[in-house]
């Protein structure tokens, strides 16, 4: 059996259809927003690293709420990268998913 090529509107090519696809352009918009959130999350992770280190330096133990924040930020960053690299269609918080509270599912 040979597969029939898909029918495109008014004789347009597949490339033209993709270029006109609203979902593709919406994904680009979400990718730009997620890239900005990725940069912001990296700044917050850097602050958590520094504060956690100083806390350990002065107390000798980790600050548990800060540790939990670091874990959720790491998971959030992972979810962003999955979306940006087309490994998932689920848009991370604040769009399709809730803020992560557990380790990522690998």
Average pLDDT score over residue span 67-72: 94
CA-to-CA separations, 55 to 9, 37, 48, 60, 70, in angstroms, rounded: 62, 26, 10, 7, 14
Rounded average pLDDT over 15-36:
89
Within 8 A by CB and 6+ apart from 69, the residues are 48
Q: How many CB atoms lie within 10 A of CB 76?
A: 21
Question: What's the mean per-residue pLDDT of the chain?
Answer: 88
Q: What percent of the chain has pLDDT over 70?
A: 88
Average pLDDT (76-84) is 96
pLDDT score for 5: 54
């Amino acid at each position: 059996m040979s597969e029939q090529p898909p029918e495109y509107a008014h004789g347009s090519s597949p490339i033209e259809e993709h270029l006109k696809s609203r979902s593709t352009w919406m994904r680009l918009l979400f990718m730009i927003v997620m890239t900005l959130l990725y940069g912001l999350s990296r700044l917050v992770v850097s602050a958590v690293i520094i504060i956690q280190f100083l806390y350990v330096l002065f107390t000798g133990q980790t600050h548990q709420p800060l540790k939990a924040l670091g874990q959720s930020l790491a998971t959030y960053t992972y979810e962003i990268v999955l979306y940006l690299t087309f490994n998932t269609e689920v848009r991370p918080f604040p769009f399709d998913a809730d803020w992560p509270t557990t380790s990522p599912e690998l």
